[in-house]
Structure 1
Amino acid sequence: MTPAQQRRRPTDVVPAVCWLLAVAVLAVPALAQGTGPTPARGAPGFGDAAWWWALGLLTLQAVVVARCGTRPRAAVLLVAGVLPGFVVLGEAIGVALVAVIVATYRAVLARPARPLVPTLVAAGALVTASVAAADVGIGNRGWAVALAGVLQAVAAVVLPLVLAGVVGARRDAVDALARSAAALERERDARVQVAVERERTAMARELHDIAAHHLSGIAVMTGAIGRQIDVDPEGAKKAVAQVREQSTAMLRDLRNLVVLLRDATPSEADGEVRMETLAGVADLVARARATGQDVTLSETGPVADVATSGAVGPLAQLAAYRVVQEALSNAARHAPGARCDVRLDAGTAGRVEVEVRNGPSGPGLEPAAHEPGYGLVGMRERAELTGATLRYGPTVDGGWQVRMVVPVGEVVAQPVADATREEQDR
């Protein structure tokens, strides 16, 4: 079944249900009395020619309402236009007004009511005239006939008009809120995208400047080494030392760049920018406790050895550290007073699991007002850049959980990094 058919089914059911109700109202009293008179004065008996005539007109009204969904004005005029044919029903003419009510409601709901005013006035006049004619046919006279026609017109046209107007106004309000929310979401996504692109541009520019400066010098010096290694060994040795110096300087600049681009206030130690590692998570937890957060830290497996062995790269360790930092910060803002559990698990070969879980807000504590930020976006980007996987979401108890799995590689010799440490020691 196509979506269009699914949307049309409820619309088609309404006329059928109304037709069944009208036929039941018309048939049950007639069956109870056989072919004699019915409780409604002037109504035909079951099986009479007038009864079948009324049944045919009711069926015609139902078909018009069902088939004229895209032409609501025509539907109102047609179902009201056959009302004079129901005069033979006498007091039972009210069964013919069901289709008028449905057609009027749907017409007002489908389009603004102002263009429908002439149509609705004509429908009201037909209802008034038909009801009055039916009353006259059964012997009623006087002002009561006109009053009955007007009241029936109000019930068949004015009431569905008001109801459809209220429902339509509420629907328009909901649609407006949905459009506003969608616009805000698009604006937020655009802001996030702009922030990400700006950061990427800054990183690309700085990386280009650093790499171009150092690598161009390394290329020149390695070319000189190839020419000097046989004719000038001492000069070649000096060139090798210069290559080593340029390599360590580039690594140091790249390390500092990563930290500076990720933090507005980088950590400092002895005047130098320091890159955080898994070993610094304990200090991070201690600082969180000092601010009043209820934070616990558990370590499984050789976390310290993994952090210092080089099995997890510095960028991956920095990413894990920042994920813990961001998760604790989010917990403090959005779940004040909640217990936070930080878990570092290096017990499984080939990976390190970093998990931060917090419960719901403490009793009597209100979370900070939600302001769209870039924390989760930053977590996800760090994970992608380092080959890690990141999962986050609510927990069953109403809290929040962030879980990052960092791949662990084999420890290989890193002479350049060792040289960097030697120069720093000096």
Structure 2
Amino acid sequence: MVERRLPKPRDLAPLMQFKKVDFNASRRRLNAALTIEDLRRIAKRRTPKAAFDYTDGAAEGEFSMHRARQAFEDVQFNPSILRNVAEVDTSTTIFGGPSAQPFGIAPTGFTRLMQTEGETAGASAAGAAGIPFTLSTLGTTSIEDVKKANPHGRNWFQLYVMKQREISYGLVERAAAAGFDTLFFTVDTPVAGARLRDKRNGFSIPPQLSLGTVINAIPRPWWWIDFLTTPPLEFASLSSTGGTVGELLDSAMDPSISFEDLAIIRELFPGKIVVKGVQNVEDAKTLADLGVDGVVLSNHGGRQLDRAPIPFHLLPEVVREVGDDLAVTMDTGIMNGADVVAALAMGAKFTFVGRAYLYGLMAGGRAGVDRTIEILSEQVERTMRLLEVSTVEELEPKHVTQLQRLVPREASTVRTPSRGRPSSAG
């Protein structure tokens, strides 16, 4: 029998301690966010639909984006036991310099449309966390202002080769002059992908008002106040900003870019040259032979060619073929620090987050980006401890099993019909 008695006041006192109330609503929201998905939900509440969907969406049926995320969900970790993980070091070296975490911020376009602090928030948060920040050609903050926001950190520049080559060359020279140490030569955007959410929302640069826009803005006045009371959007690479994002990209990008353009950019930029948007082994081998410093396996976050290869699935084969000759990195689908750890175990030297960073930005500006980095960093460290590895270098393929739902058919089982051959049927 359990003895029953009346509780004594001194026994109740420890149970009656109420949590201290934080009267800062923004800080309270961000502290309550425990995952990137939590930040995404906050971002969706606080951002007009057109701007949120530009970040959240992908091309056409959005299969590439969902398959990339599914690939990380279909990971089985294989932990070791009885290793000393009292101290865990998440730092690494990439493209000739240090990073406190094995992930950096990916280049994103039109970022101040998501939240008015834009790239300034991203660059300053990255600098404070000791990780690299990458500025897009289509960024809404100048190269020089990003340098001011992150004066002592590592700044990288992502380059689109434009139809007007002088614009691209000028951006490369400015990035070099500002001390950006790595340049991403992007190769997966000869034309814009069909981003159907943007078309359905009528999303344009600058934003255009419609009855739907006004109705959607009513519960989100802070976004419009920020947008209308801060300096107008400026794009370093675009002289005209009227039209949808796809129309802007198509007017600016050159589908005729070639290896000759890569050679020219290598001559112009004194730092590391990394090719972003590699999606097969053969191209990776060609780039290794050309002596570039690294590649980013990427399908542009699913925003270009839908049904594109899944970078995480492509990773092991590329590392096997060229991993000794150049740094193989990847993006697309990373929404958790465990995804970062899985990629490293499968051979990636480094990873990049795009949407995860933007969800934090939309959820709370600079503080939201800080929270994104904090969440991912905690998840990286916790996953490493549970795998019982104490450094990034200890992660190996044995720590991960890739469970595949999509298995390619054998080529021999697919018959290709003859073309131009007369039929034998009578």
* TM-score for both structures, normalised by structure 1: 0.19
More helix by share: 1
* TM-score for both structures, normalised by structure 2: 0.19
Max Rg structure: 1
